[in-house]
Amino acid sequence: MKKSTIISIGSVVIVIAGIGIYSLFGGDNEIQVVSGSEEEIEIEVQEDDEDVGALEEEVVEEPSEEIFNDGMDPLEIRETIQTVHGVLNGITGHGQLDTYRESGDGAHIDNFNKIESNLLDQANLIEKVIPHVQHELLRKDLETFVAITRYATESHEVEHLLYSHRIIHDVETVLNEVSGKNIFGAAVFVASAGYEPTAFEAAVKPILQTLASEESEE
């Protein structure tokens, strides 16, 4: 074998060995070998970014708002709301709302007077649990129920009685997770369960505004 050929082979061996040693002990260790076209690499990076984002969304989760605070058994509060809802069902259900509609002979006033004491008792029961309710929307609805229920006994308006029932119905249905019940949207608390409080905006809020206006005139 010629001397020049031996020297060339030896040089190649030395270069290969040098590259191997450099890759093990030297150079930038952050460098990674990525296979595939630039387009494939870009897609892979995008997918990784999306996966990380999804994981972050799962881990960083907004804490749910506490419903009650200390001072009263939450079960007692739930049962009180359930009881009041039952009483309003008894007053307004099975077509009884018609007995409170003005008919020209004043009979609706007599019928309102018959339920006045009962309605005020229900308002008082709810008023006692309000200080122990921490959830802002639920507390607002209970305060609204108290105001409109008392207003119904003074105004003798069937609409006020109607929404007194619908507010407590929505509250109890969502709070106690009652299945098979319609949601009227008369309570803002329904938003916590994904429902739109459309009836609150359309009907309950105007009643509250009228009530506030009459109180300011007194």
- Reduced to 3 states (helix: H, G, I; strand: E, B; else coil), residue 68 is strand
Average pLDDT over residues 106-130: 97
CB atoms within 10 A of CB 106: 10
Statement: residue 142 has pLDDT above 80: yes
Of the listed ranges 23-32, 59-68, 75-84, 88-97, the one predicted with least confidence: 23-32
pLDDT at 217: 86
Instruction: Report pLDDT for 218.
Output: 77
Calpha distance 150→118 (Å, rounded): 11
Mean pLDDT, residues 94-99 taken together = 94
Residue 180 has pLDDT above 90, yes or no: yes
Q: Of residues 3 and 139, which shows the higher confidence score?
A: 139
Mean pLDDT over 123-139 rounds to 97
Burial 179-190 (b: 16+ CB within 10 A, else e): eeeebbbbbbbb
Q: What is the pTM of this model?
A: 0.70
User: pLDDT band at residue 177, thresholds of 50, 70 and 90?
Assistant: very high
Share of the chain above pLDDT 90, in %: 66
Q: What is the mean pLDDT of residues 44-68?
A: 39
What are the pLDDT digits (tens) for 72-92? 999 999 999 999 999 999 999
Residues 6+ apart with CB under 8 A from 109: 156
Place 39 in a pLDDT band, splitting at 50, 70 and 90.
very low
Alpha-carbon gap, residue 124 to 128, rounded angstroms: 6
Sequence letter at residue 127? E
Q: Is the pLDDT of residue 194 over 60?
A: yes
